[in-house]
Amino acid sequence: MASRSRSEQFVFGYGSLVSRQDACARPVGLRDFRRAWNVAMDNAVDLPGYKYFLDPSGDRPAVGVTFLNLVRAPGHIVNGIALGVTEPELDELDARERNYARTDVTKRVAGVPEGTVWAYLGTAAARERYESARSAQRAVIAREYYDAVLSAFARLGTEAAAEFAASTDAPDCPIRELERIDMGRIARPHTR
């Protein structure tokens, strides 16, 4: 199967991906969705090639680290950016966004050149991890992630920042100082 060119596929960035904006990224809106803080990873579980978080004391707290997600909301619009991507870049994003499933949202995005627009929507398991952590009062948002998302929208301008605030549900868990630690990827053995 031939690889699609950069101009034929896009990813709708609505959170941390907005910080990846480049000269080719363009502001767009996604119809019938809102943003919610309702996807979490279990910080007590090691996943090869992923990440975990430490608190300022250097301890690894047993918390559900919470991230943004898109939830269906007829009549609403979420602002974000359309990033042109190649097939290898999509593969990298699929690995990075392991709490999310890549979903075709092309028909809900206006203003993007002909092609496919993908958005990463939280998986049922990731939403369940959040609900479980929230119920146990263990759900938290890493301050660095929270601030990075707000800063990315601020760089798009005051109107984009205001649209972000209007299309995002307020978090219902605390924001904590946490240091992100990326785990090394497992090297695959070379075969001959």
Summarised one tens digit per residue, pLDDT across range 88-120 is: 999 999 988 999 999 999 999 987 768 899 999
Q: How far apart are alpha carbons 71 and 148 in whole angstroms?
A: 21
Helix residue ranges per DSSP H, 82-123 = 87-96
**The whole model's pTM is what?**
0.88
Domain count, the chain: 1
Q: For 67, what's the count of Cα atoms within 13 Å in the CB-facing half-sphere?
A: 23
For residue 35, tell me if it sits in a domain.
yes
For residue 172, tell me if it sits in a domain.
yes
CATH of the domain at 169: 3.10.490
For residue 190, tell me if it sits in a domain.
no
For residue 191, tell me if it sits in a domain.
no
Q: Give me the pLDDT at residue 24, please.
A: 73
Q: Would you say the C-alpha torsion 89, 93, 95, 101 has a positive or negative sign? A: negative
- Tell me: the pLDDT tens digits for 69-87? 999 999 999 999 999 999 9
Q: Which domain holds residue 81?
A: 6-182
Residues recorded for the chain: 192
pLDDT (average), residues 167-177: 97
For residue 192, tell me if it sits in a domain.
no
